[in-house]
Amino acid sequence: MKPAKRVDSIDLSGIRKMFDMVGENSINLALGEPDFNTPLHIREAVKEALDEGFTHYTGNMGIIELREAISHKLENENRIETSPESIIVTTGASGALYSSTNALIEEKDEVIIPDPGFVAYDACVKISGGKSVPVHLQDENDFRMMPEDVLELITPYTKAIIMNSPGNPTGGVLKKDDVKGLADIADDHNLILISDEIYEKIIYGKKHYSPARYSDNVITINGFSKTYAMTGFRIGYLAAPPELTEEILKVHQYTVTCATSLSQKAALAALEGPQDEVFKMVGEFERRRNLVLERLRDMGIKCNQPQGAFYVFPSIENPEKLVLEALKKDVVLVPGNSFGKYGDRHFRISYAASYQDLEKAMDRLESLDL
């Protein structure tokens, strides 16, 4: 029996393949998951909800208290005018991405995606029946998605653009002019701009800008996994133009029905509770980033200084060899071509590991004969 062509055309995540190679003594620098505990007040909110028996279906769009809190957050922090009726609570930001692409994209539609970029972008476009068109994010531009490069790729078949800032796997952060330029392109060509903002709060010395501040043709995707170390809760959200919300809801409804009830209570506590742990975590990530950058440069490995997320994306002549040799030293990395064809000659390090483990990993990499 043959699988559907649109599924047969995609590969399993290269990140997960590397993760499966983790041994008992390995230092895993492959997976994008904060090593911090979920803040206590969020865990306590889950216990309370469980004790109260909040274990049943919620409305398809999510509980109203959470959607109101998300709307308030978007208006006050991102300067996005929205309402709870335009917000859908999803199973992680990945669920928001899947529902959005499948509601919008059909056969022959083209979607411009960042390359190197998160592995799910290409997969979700292909599963929806569309065609991914990669835009080259270049080292010399700090891996920013440049509006002029995007403009060159637009054809009569272009339906949407996916952007990601701060970016995975590069840690690149778009400037205000970049974001406004992409929003203008969406307006001028009647395209939907899907903005993945999952690393929004993990940013160093820069400011985050949401394109929905400048255009109504934007679906904003975000979640709680990275900012609040809540990866296992699988809880995210999207804010869409009113005319698209119901269409996206159809996909969401028939895929997952609703996000997990307990996770929604956890997300509400995350938004409404103290943010001290977030600031501490981001400060520690910056300290780890500086360690990794310094050690890589001491080894003679070129690497841009990322301004967000928790990844570095160094360039090297033969990254596949380095990744394999690193595995022999029990250090798990990800080759750059896992993130698209323009990721070639790079590899990704996730510094979402303890400072001590990062020091050990850098010592092991330094011992390699490359």
pLDDT digits (tens, 9 = 90+) for 210-263: 999 999 999 999 999 999 999 999 999 999 999 999 999 999 999 999 999 999
Q: Model confidence at 19, in pLDDT bands (50, 70, 90)?
A: low
Whether residue 167 has pLDDT greater than 90:
yes
| C-alpha closest to that of 179 among 139, 206, 205 | 206
* Range of the structural domain that residue 68 is part of: 41-272
CATH number at residue 294: 3.90.1150.10
pLDDT of residue 4: 72
Verify that 157 and 173 share a domain, yes or no: yes
Mean pLDDT of 76-89: 97
Verify that 174 and 87 share a domain, yes or no: yes
Instruction: Provide the percentage of residues in the chain whose pLDDT is more than 90.
Output: 92
pLDDT of residue 147: 98
Residue 60 contacts residue 249 (beta carbons within 8 Å): yes
Verify that 124 and 258 share a domain, yes or no: yes
Q: Model confidence at 5, in pLDDT bands (50, 70, 90)?
A: confident
Whether residue 13 has pLDDT greater than 60:
no
Tokens standing for residue 141: 């531009």
What are residue 349's DSSP bridge partners?
312
Verify that 95 and 133 share a domain, yes or no: yes
Query: Model-level pTM greater than 0.85?
Result: yes
Verify that 306 and 182 share a domain, yes or no: no
Number of domains in the chain: 2
Verify that 326 and 190 share a domain, yes or no: no
Verify that 164 and 243 share a domain, yes or no: yes
pLDDT of residue 370: 67
Mean pLDDT of 329-349: 96
Distance from C-alpha of 162 to C-alpha of 6, rounded to nearest angstrom: 19
Q: Is the peptide bond before 84 cis (omega within 30 degrees of 0)?
A: no
pLDDT of residue 20: 60
Verify that 102 and 210 share a domain, yes or no: yes
pLDDT of residue 369: 76
Whether residue 295 has pLDDT greater than 80:
yes
pLDDT tens digits, 39-51: 999 999 999 999 9
CA 149 to each of CA 115, 121, 136, 141, 228: distance values in angstroms, whole numbers, following the listed order: 12, 18, 8, 11, 34
Burial of 367 (0-12, 13-18, 19+ CB in 10 A): exposed
pLDDT of residue 317: 92
| C-alpha closest to that of 312 among 321, 304, 320 | 304
Verify that 144 and 224 share a domain, yes or no: yes
> Which spans in 20-118 are helix H?
40-51, 64-73, 92-104
pLDDT of residue 7: 74
Mean pLDDT of 305-329: 95
How high does pLDDT run on average in the chain? 95
Verify that 172 and 92 share a domain, yes or no: yes
Verify that 13 and 67 share a domain, yes or no: no
Q: Please identify, among 249, 272, 295, the residue that sits at the C-terminal boundary of a domain.
A: 272
Whether residue 209 has pLDDT greater than 80:
yes
Instruction: Provide the percentage of residues in the chain whose pLDDT is more than 70.
Output: 95
pLDDT of residue 327: 93
Tokens standing for residue 159: 């339906």
pLDDT tens digits, 343-354: 999 999 999 999
Whether residue 279 has pLDDT greater than 80:
yes
Q: Model confidence at 17, in pLDDT bands (50, 70, 90)?
A: low
Mean pLDDT of 83-93: 98
